[in-house]
């Protein structure tokens, strides 16, 4: 009886989180479209990073109420340098397979585009992608949602598939069905990296995700 009550509670927490994430993400999109560009460049740069954390507010509140820490989500202080190195290696492998090769075969327009020409823009892109996009998204999907799915049903395979599917659907707000499918696959890949690579943690996934995203802009600009 107690297990059923706990499972029901975990499901409720997950549903509340998903609704909160969707509502807050929609609010961020409206803010970006209607308000963000009215701020000076420096403020926009900072807000660009911070706004990605808005959808994480509900999961953070639930974690605080449950007295859950980052360790439960897969963060670890042990061998931090190795964790980061693994993330960089994964990012380079992804960039080679999903960015460099398509560009060399003439699919540059499908990979991405950029108007960046200055060094500071590319430096900011790495900060924006790692501290904003990747950190927030990995915290939400490979962290909080993955953890809640494990609490509901103790199956890592189930948690990997569902969290990756939700990760893909999350991008329907800012992309199209192709991007949803691609991010679903990327979610699966990153989850499998954590499962199969020793010392690969959620920190590794944040680095991999952020560096990979930033390198798309760099490679598109120079090739």
**pLDDT tens-place string over residues 157-180:** 999 999 999 999 998 877 788 889
The reported pTM is 0.95
The 10s digit of each residue's pLDDT in 175-204 is 788 889 999 999 999 999 999 999 999 999
What does the domain layout of the chain look like in residue ranges? Answer: 2-222
The 10s digit of each residue's pLDDT in 26-76 is 999 999 999 999 999 999 999 999 999 999 999 999 999 999 999 999 999
SS3 string, the chain, reads CHHHHHHHHHHHHHHHHHHHHHHHHHHHHHHHHHCHHHCCHHHHHHHHHHHHHHHHHHHHHHHHHHCCCHHHHCCCCCCHHHHHHHHHHHHHHHHHHHHHHHHHCCCHHHHCCCCCCCHHHHHHHHHHHHHHHHHHHHHHHHHHHHHHHHHHCCCHHHHHHHHHHHHHHHHHHCCCHHHHHHHHHHHHHHHHHHHHCCCCCHHHHHHHHHHHHHHHHHHHHHC
């Amino acid at each position: 009886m107690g297990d059923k009550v706990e499972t029901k509670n975990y499901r409720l927490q997950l549903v509340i989180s998903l609704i909160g994430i969707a509502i807050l993400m929609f609010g961020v999109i409206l803010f970006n479209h209607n308000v963000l560009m009215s701020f000076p460049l420096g403020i926009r740069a900072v807000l660009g990073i911070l706004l990605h954390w808005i959808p994480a507010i509900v999961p953070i509140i639930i974690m605080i109420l449950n007295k859950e820490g980052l360790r439960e989500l897969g963060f670890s202080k042990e061998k931090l340098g190795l964790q980061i190195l693994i993330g960089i290696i994964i990012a380079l492998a992804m960039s080679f397979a999903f960015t460099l090769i398509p560009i060399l075969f003439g699919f540059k327009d499908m990979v991405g585009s950029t108007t960046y020409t200055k060094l500071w823009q590319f430096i900011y892109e790495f900060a924006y992608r790692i501290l904003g996009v990747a950190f927030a998204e990995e915290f939400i999907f490979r962290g909080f949602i993955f953890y809640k799915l494990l609490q509901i049903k103790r199956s890592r395979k189930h948690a990997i598939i569902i969290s990756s599917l939700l990760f893909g659907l999350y991008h329907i707000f800012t992309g199209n069905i192709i991007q949803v499918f691609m991010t679903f696959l990327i979610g699966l890949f990153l989850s499998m990296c954590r499962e199969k690579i020793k010392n690969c943690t959620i920190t590794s996934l944040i680095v991999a995700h952020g560096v990979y995203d930033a390198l798309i802009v760099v490679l598109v600009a120079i090739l």
